[in-house]
Amino acid sequence: MSVFYPDYTFSRIFMIPSSFFQERGISTLLIDVDNTLTTDNNPVPHGEVLAWLDAQRAAGLRLLALSNNRRERVAPFAARLGLEYIAGAAKPLPAKVNRALKKMGILKGEAAVIGDQLFTDILCGRLAGCTTILVEPMELEGYGFFKLKRPLEERILRRYRARRKGRGL
């Protein structure tokens, strides 16, 4: 299995029911910000995200925003949503995720990393030993490195989907 393949995929984060996490023994969600909870660099979360976050809290899940962005971007966004956060996460490197899980007393098998990018979010989660969940980006970025990265991710995702289909999953 490729280190870029997620354990699970959903179209949007708010499509994942609380029962999904409970059935898998997941107690903590480390959630990417841009294009997972909101559109790129948008300080306002997607409308259905707020209700989803409330449902996860009500189910007893611990929620953390996990972003490579600077604290100046992540802290106000996380505060608005009532989330703990890790800014400057340096994804795909797992060091900050591992350190945070250890500090919180969370076993790797009890945590899930959720995000929209294979080369940062999914790879980070896999290297940290967490469950990984890929969601489709809320909008595609048409600038910078994303112009190269998104087509590469799509090639990997085509292989991933073909293998899943071939296995009857």
The DSSP element (H or E) to which 80 belongs, if any, is helix 71-81
* pLDDT tens string 41-59: 888 888 899 999 999 999 9
Helix axis angle for 71-81 and 47-58, nearest 10°, is: 70
The length of the chain, given as a count of residues? 169
Nearest to 33 by CA among 80, 100, 96: 80
Residue 167 has pLDDT above 60, yes or no: no
The DSSP element (H or E) to which 133 belongs, if any, is strand 131-135
Residue 160 has pLDDT above 90, yes or no: no
Instruction: Give CA–CA dist 18/34, Å, rounded.
Output: 22
* pLDDT tens string 54-108: 999 999 999 999 999 999 999 999 999 999 999 999 999 999 999 999 999 999 9
Residue 71: what pLDDT?
96
Residue 146: what pLDDT?
58
pTM: 0.90
Q: Which amino acid is it at 152?
A: L
